[in-house]
Homo-oligomer: A and B are copies of this chain.
Amino acid sequence: MNPTIKDIAQRANVSYATVSRALNNKPFVKEATRRRVLSLAKELNYTPNALARGLVKKETRTLGLIIPDITNPFYPEVAQGIQEGAGDSGFSVFLCNTNWDHDQELHYLNLLEEKRVDGIILAPIENQVDVVEPHIRNRIPVVYLDKAPRKTRNSYVMIDNVRGGFLATRHLIEQGYDTIGFIGAAEDSLTIDDRLKGYRMAMEQNRLKVHDDFVRFGNYRQVTGYTIIQSMIGSGRYPRAVFAENDLIALGVMQGAREAGLKVPEDIAVIGFDDIPFASFPEVQLSTIRQPKHQMGRTAVEIILQQIKAGNGGPTAASVKRVLLEPELVVRRSSRSR
């Protein structure tokens, strides 16, 4: 059995309240007593019980992080930023992976609540309509990451997706491409809506026509880009350039195009979104819109910690923070016309 403060107290001939004080560096403990307790604790191999402590203090110094897909290279970098930021403030992080499954998302939301985490950082699966918020019972502060329900009352950090979509498309236009396609994940996605909006804005500004055939949707994985571009090419009509909603899809597009005998960027240009590590690999050289992933994570932590400190669980006018990070255009070979 694990030793408890009572075991220490007994051996130290003090009450266990004193042991608690000594262990927690509280004032009003004689230095000698403190030392005795500390050495005894070490000797007995004492490890405090976070459950018991959490129960009485009503805080666990733990954050929950829910992400949809840990194998998408975008998230690990964000998660790293979060863990670092949390660690700096003595918080640890419960990482939950939903695998794009909405039930899983709900399940984890619930679980984190049961575990009484002090705050939740949620990178939600798509949801225009907010199915999540009713489940967050306003007891635990939540900050959305990467995307957020359209009119949420909670805090969020994400990239300016309209701007990102605009930058990507304008860049392709400036390179001289005039038929530009868009390939995204789920059609009802907030993120994609915005990126698409940016795309349309840029097209419109330059009086370019958006061909509905060239605006297509699938899921978040590489295979989406691969199949869609191949079907376009197979049909004989395909755009001269493609703006893919994320780098994984963009890589799929490159792969599909190349297998169909097209050259990138000579026959078809491609730009992605995220700037995952492999986009910069010399034989990939994928142009993209960079997201400050690490910073996104750290910002999310800052916000949530602030909200935790403010107490009062649910979002209040004072504590809610909405942060839009700036996207950055990164031009590589996949979209350079010369």
Contact = CB atoms under 8 A, between A and B. Distances in A.
Interface of A: 2, 45, 47-52, 54-55, 60, 62, 70-71, 73, 76-77, 79-80, 83, 92-97, 99, 108, 110-111, 113-116, 137, 139, 251, 254-255, 258-259, 277-278, 281-284
Contacts of A80: 70-71, 97, 99
A92 B70 contact: no
A308 to B, nearest CB: 16
Given A83-B97, A255-B282, 5 more contacts: A52-B55, A71-B73, A94-B95, A251-B281, A258-B282
15 contacts: A47-B137, A49-B114, A51-B52, A51-B115, A62-B115, A70-B76, A70-B80, A71-B73, A73-B73, A92-B94, A92-B111, A254-B283, A258-B282, A278-B278, A281-B284
Nearest to A1: B139
Nearest to A54: B51
* The 5 residue pairs across chains A and B that have the minimum distance between CB atoms: A95-B95, A50-B114, A283-B283, A70-B76, A51-B54
Nearest to A104: B87
A251 B278 CA distance: 10
Contacts of A93: 95-96
A48 B283 contact: no
